[in-house]
Structure 1
Amino acid sequence: MAEDNDERAFFGELTPAALPKAKPKVQPHYAGHRDRLRERFAGAGSSNFADYELLELLLFRSIPRADTKPIAKALLARFGTFAEVLGAPVSLLQEVKGVGPSVALDLKIVAAAAQRMARGEIKGREVLSSWSAVVEYCRTAMAFEEREQFRILFLDKKNALIADEVQQTGTVDHTPVYPREVIRRALELSATAIVLVHNHPSGDPTPSRADIDMTRIIMETAKPLGIALHDHIIIGKKSHVSMKGLALI
């Protein structure tokens, strides 16, 4: 009992200064970096940001407790550009160290938002006067797909976009296209003009003989029905080709 009293007396006599001091909480090295990067963005926007810095900003919310700079740089090293990172399939994104299912999904959500914004730039507008926006939308939507897609932009008599539909999805180097189905759908939508678009996953947008032949069949089938074929755009990863520009239409 006497020992208990002595122990209580000892601790009771300790002043705050005499008590053991708690070690100060050490902030992770990336905490200040995140704040500085956010401040730069808030002050000047993204114009002076490198691709990896913008990617870091996106990753901050997906990965709250880690240094995202190495992950951002690893993604760019694997896929090449900011756009290619967003366009990469989920399965390949997850092969990069630090990118799990939720991070890959967040990146695809950002990609979908970018596509929706690009589509908004041409929806309801006179397409031929917004051609650069049309091409940019198609590149955003298709350039980094792993398989060929055949897309049709259906236009009204004022050349405004009525509908944008992916008609077929094929393999890495072929998409089956059925001209009668293309024309049937145009008639259903009361479209008076169409723009054909497809991608080449190989990256080379040069039209093949099959691309040229198929385009001419659709054009010849559509013309007697009052449906104009304005162009057939082939999208590669870094460039595109207009068949009209090549005088193939």
Structure 2
Amino acid sequence: MSAGPDQLAEAPFPLPEAPDTHDDRAGHRQRVRDRFLRVGGDALEDYELLELALQLVIPRRDTKALAKTLLREFGSFSGVFNASSARLEKVKGLGSTTTAHLKVIQAVAARFGRDRIDVEQPILSSWTQLIDYCRAQMAYQSIEQFRILFLDKKNRLIADEVQQTGTVDHTPVYPREVIRRSLELNATALILVHNHPSGDPAPSSADVRMTQEIADIAKPMGITLHDHIVIGKSGHASLRALKLI
């Protein structure tokens, strides 16, 4: 005969309760958030900051282990956010929705970095911010990307455009197309930027030839080529500083 509600209520000892793992996870998430608010993002380890970012898009799961998995898989914090959606979705625990949200976070960070370059000031006076922006955008790309910063006569930024993308070690660049676009934007100066997915920012002989060809075409048109910057995981190289322009 089964017991009724009154009999259960009068049991001589309480029934055991299942452990509340949800509360443990919630407590951990709160502790990480509190630490971020107390010491700031710069004081956090990469996995801790990535864990917080993942919490924004995966609110009901412990994301610490996933953060560490992503860092092992892609090598660095920037490597995670610069990874392609296809590669991210192969990681257990990430789906198309979560991956899309990570790409939104990446786009927000990129826009913030670009806005740090004050368009009202000569870009040459914001060189550190410019390098930081280019590294964030390009250092961990898996294919070569060639972008141009178009400047006005006061060296203020008119436009930042990706002109070409290529393979893992080559991007086709057409100097006359670079000049044509410069004339369309009424630009009087240029800074060229491209990345080396190999990680080594040392310019190749092809990089040097292409840069000199653009400079030779630009000069009679009244367009100054300030620099060509090569971005790699290990740093950057300036063709101007290397006296190759």
| Structure 2 match to 1:43 | 38
Residues 1-249 of structure 1: pairs in structure 2 closer than 5 A: 11=4, 16-18=9-11, 24=17, 26-28=19-21, 29-124=24-119, 125-249=121-245
Task: Tell me the CA shift for residue 219 of structure 1.
Answer: 0.3
Task: Tell me the CA shift for residue 159 of structure 1.
Answer: 0.5
- Show CA shifts across 1:103-146 (max 9, x none): 22221111111110010011413110100111111111111222
Do the aligned residues in 1 keep the contact of 2:118 with 2:126 (CA within 8 Å)? no
Look up the equivalent residue of 1:26 and give its one-letter code. Answer: P
CA distance in 1, matches of 2:192, 2:153: 17
Gaps of 5+ in 2: none
CA distance in 2, matches of 1:51, 1:176: 35
For the residue of structure 2 that corresponds to 1:204, the secondary structure is coil
Task: Tell me the CA shift for residue 44 of structure 1.
Answer: 2.1
- Cα RMSD for the two superposed structures: 2.1
Task: Tell me the CA shift for residue 24 of structure 1.
Answer: 4.3
CA distance in 2, matches of 1:216, 1:44: 48
CA distance in 2, matches of 1:71, 1:217: 47
For the residue of structure 2 that corresponds to 1:174, the secondary structure is coil
For the residue of structure 2 that corresponds to 1:47, the secondary structure is helix
- Show CA shifts across 1:77-126 (max 9, x none): 11111111111111111222212222222211111111100100114131
What is the count of residue pairs matched by the alignment? 242
- Show CA shifts across 1:42-86 (max 9, x none): 222112210000011111132223221111001111111111111
Task: Tell me the CA shift for residue 203 of structure 1.
Answer: 1.1
Do the aligned residues in 1 keep the contact of 2:189 with 2:224 (CA within 8 Å)? yes
Misfit runs of 4+, over 3 Å:
10-26
For the pair shown, which has the larger CA radius of gyration, 1 or 2?
Answer: 1
Q: What is the TM-score when the length of structure 1 is the normalising length?
A: 0.90
For the residue of structure 1 that corresponds to 2:132, the secondary structure is helix
For the residue of structure 2 that corresponds to 1:217, the secondary structure is helix
